Structure 1
């Protein structure tokens, strides 16, 4: 694995303009699948490339895991087979314990905030250590002191007459996500802890795994809420809802999707069938409609990915912090195989669309691509290409 040097000092907030919305700027993975002390810089549009076994997909899995933990999911739901994620070279300690580490840095109004998590996979799945830091100061730390108990000892910055508050937290939940329920916010120190925790949680929770599956997108589906799933298997329902959008918004979607199609594309619609289901159609001109079931995999994946890029969280089954104004959130699309099934022209068009959308600051993309797509993307403004190499142990 290519190791990117870890940032050792935080930029001074007096010299660096802080982003208005929380953004994950760095992902850290250690003893996680094939990763060993891997640090990945994340920009508005980040593409991971490399050969088989280089850890592209597991990097996205690590980000998704942090996002789910920030949303409050329990550890066993996030890691159903944790031992499979611990590499063979990561031997057990004297007590037979093996595990991995995940971390990230979130830039935002509170400055650069770092979160680092140590997870024990064997003999029992649990969080054994967590650190939340702001400008080098530890705001939250947890440690497993008694293996017989299903809790960790937590200490968080308080300030005032009592500088540190100590309490037990469950060992299967992210402590940072629990802080708003435990910290009163009555001192400046507590307010600082809450601001840092909220910044991390908001940035991580605003993530959506986008993995369109063409075989599942071709069928008619029941009418639902019109929110796209990760597999986009309810494409017809999404387009059925889209018919109620304003003309300008619908035209933007049509223009963005048209670049991925061969031939003319004049409309994207859905029709209700006699059995109550809806099927999606593409219009090729007056009186010419084609069911999406006849489209190729590349056209379907391009349509689904452009739909996710152009519509944002109000059309995706995402889990944003509803209490935070949309102007303060940036949706992150996690797309493993961003260029899968796309030809060269489609891949280039999709990257151009993604770069344009990500340039607004409201949407970010972390995806994996093949070497050809990565080569075409290098040097493109707003695109970060990270090449990973298989690690030899």
Structure 2
């Protein structure tokens, strides 16, 4: 059966799609985090809803849609950060379900969404995107507690705007205004909603929870081939490819001895040979290189480590740090205590041996239990993670 094309109406909730109950949370946990990903019609996924726990592994053979799910999650995160649609989806046709037929006007598209939990309870966001003939958002809906807080739809294809209406609960039940069709309306609401009525304040609180959760996402895919060369001293914020790991170690080793100690303990369990410390050394040309201290006066340059050791090191560092260290969009007006960082790790176990992947999963679960870091990864086979505490495995069929 062909996937229906996205119409000009907002996506709403697909009544035929399976609903996933929100993740349970501790009564006092008000940190904003994404607890469900919905792919109503996206690439190879249709009517799919995935619960996301503190640690979630998408498992399946090649072509099952693991990377696609993480791609959709990252796309929502970038939209939540205010990025324009064309930058988020450089190849929008690849996001359209293969069997989706164009409508009478030649339009095809896709639909994605998510749920953010936090102080406002579960807040749902659903977005419909037209990929052809023009890339544009044609519908968006933000809901909480069964109440539609924001709804937009494309009314005039000749204009580069959508008609939006948001909850007001004042002298008028809703406020209507045009919004650009190339940006997420939820992220723009603080610029348009005055916050004078209870309804407007409810809209702003829900939108802020969603945006904070989406902006707290860090896609991470360590590149061992780029981690072996010295790097210049810079901001000390880790890049998604972990190319600048030595620069980050130069900073974090001095700033947080306790977390650095945990990192060294983890490396001792996942790297060959003894490990008593991990440090960054300045070189004569002004660059930095990272080294392992073996405890006998001998140091091993990271350039000599294998791909698995380097990926294990980088991912462990990511899980043990936080927004202040990672190159992630940080909303300065929101304290870290109200945020939960979500790490997206495609190929979570790539190049890792059995001991390394078990230790990495144990670290992810421990950090997830504390509530500060969540991890969503993709693996081909998750049998080694079966029964692990705090780990949700989502099995996908090719």
2:257 counterpart residue number:
247
CA contact (8 A) 1:150 1:171 kept: yes
1:32 counterpart residue number:
42
1:123 counterpart residue number:
133
1:383 counterpart residue number:
391
User: 2-side partners of 1:78 and 1:379: how far apart?
Assistant: 36
1:60 aligns with 2:66: no
Displacement of 1:246 after TM fit? 4.2
Look up the SS of the partner of 2:76 in the other structure. Answer: helix
Could you list the runs of 5+ residues in structure 2 that have no partner in the other structure? 1-15
C-alpha change, 1:8 and 1:210, in structure 2 (3 Å) is closer
TM-score between the two structures when normalised by the length of structure 1: 0.94
C-alpha change, 1:309 and 1:103, in structure 2 (3 Å) is same
Displacement of 1:257 after TM fit? 2.5
Displacement of 1:287 after TM fit? 1.2
C-alpha change, 1:225 and 1:8, in structure 2 (3 Å) is closer
1:240-319 correspondence to structure 2 within 5 Å: 240-319=250-329
CA contact (8 A) 2:44 2:97 kept: yes
C-alpha change, 1:9 and 1:34, in structure 2 (3 Å) is closer
TM-score between the two structures when normalised by the length of structure 2: 0.93
Number of residue pairs aligned between Structure 1 and Structure 2: 383
Displacement of 1:17 after TM fit? 4.0
Displacement of 1:6 after TM fit? 2.6
CA contact (8 A) 1:76 1:125 kept: yes
User: 2-side partners of 1:7 and 1:43: how far apart?
Assistant: 16
1:148-159 correspondence to structure 2 within 5 Å: 148-159=158-169
CA contact (8 A) 2:44 2:98 kept: no
Could you list the runs of 5+ residues in structure 1 that have no partner in the other structure? none
1:102-181 correspondence to structure 2 within 5 Å: 102-181=112-191
User: 1-side partners of 2:256 and 2:138: how far apart?
Assistant: 50
Q: Which of 209, 225, 243 does residue 235 from structure 2 map onto?
A: 225
Q: Which of 50, 66, 69 does residue 79 from structure 2 map onto?
A: 69
Look up the SS of the partner of 1:153 in the other structure. Answer: strand
User: 2-side partners of 1:154 and 1:25: how far apart?
Assistant: 26
Displacement of 1:107 after TM fit? 1.3
Q: Which of 15, 18, 24 does residue 6 from structure 1 map onto?
A: 18
User: 2-side partners of 1:6 and 1:379: how far apart?
Assistant: 25
Look up the SS of the partner of 1:242 in the other structure. Answer: helix
User: 2-side partners of 1:5 and 1:102: how far apart?
Assistant: 12
Question: RMSD in angstroms over aligned alpha carbons?
Answer: 1.8
